Amino acid sequence: MKTFIASLASLLLLVLPGSSRAGTVTVKGSDTLVILGQRWAEEFMKKNPNTKLQVTGGGSGVGLSALINGTTDIAMSSRPIKDTENQQLSARTKTKATEIAVAKDGVTFYVNESNKLDALTAEQLRDIYLGDITNWKDVGGPDAPIVVYSRENSSGTYVFVKDHVLKGEDYTPSAQTLPGTAAVVNAVAKEKNGIGYGGAAYAKGIKELKVLQGKEAIAPSEANIKSGKYPLSRELYFYLRARPEGEAKAFLDYILSPEGQALATKVGYFPVK
């Protein structure tokens, strides 16, 4: 409830960077990063009461569009910025976006806690999300239809899974699209035959699948994600229109400090350095 209220308040207070009050920094984008972004903001504002940080989600694509349009100071993204997005930004500002990796994460596939499966291969996950496998019995589970949940196409995690798991192919039309990772987790927790995906930090009340490579089942653990051994490890980013300065730089300095990176670990993400 506190997170919902904070997000609602942020939406109501959103102002254009060009006309923002002194000491106000707007941060928008990735739903994967929004929990961590809000925690960073809360702790930073305790130490810097004259700075106001407004952190909202909406998806990586939404955040990067806002950066291009000049309606946010910082875009949060769970994927690298696209060339087309950088071109759009350059057309407006004559510069490319400044990219800063702020944390690491592992894209995790979730199943219901009652599901007896512990691991699937990347090929099995791909076939499920392409619609080529539609029954759990075909991957060693019960004789039951697979209920597939996905994110909306503005999500950086949606793009990551399409690029790295589906190899660029389209999701099955039967996939049920949900507006955020928390919604995916909630759906899988209620649907015994469900499967979904999202950041490791959201994996509460469901089972995280390991990824089978040969005979080894690789878990999305801290050690495996930090080392890159987990095959769906990724970096999470903040993007700015220019090199950070003022309050934005102070906020980023805090995020990348030992204290900020320790907070990332505490929330359920992994340090970038």
Q: Name residue 234's beta-bridge partners.
A: 105
Ramachandran region, residue 167 (left: φ > 0; alpha: ψ -120 to 50; beta: rest): left
Could you tell me if 101 and 272 are in contact, meaning their C-beta atoms sit under 8 angstroms apart?
yes
pTM of the model: 0.82
Q: Check whether 267 has a pLDDT greater than 80.
A: yes
The Cα-based distances of 139 to 92, 142, 144, 193, 210 in angstroms read: 49, 9, 11, 13, 14
Q: What is the pLDDT of residue 199?
A: 86
> ∠ at Cα 155 (74, 31), nearest 5°?
60
For residue range 54-113, what is the model confidence (pLDDT) as tens digits?
A: 999 999 999 999 999 999 999 999 999 999 999 999 999 999 999 999 999 999 999 999
Q: What is the pLDDT of residues 39-56, one digit of tens each?
A: 999 999 999 999 999 999
Instruction: For residue 22, name the pLDDT band (cuts at 50, 70, 90).
Output: low
Note the pLDDT tens digit of each residue in 199-254: 877 778 899 999 999 999 999 998 899 888 999 999 999 999 999 999 999 999 99
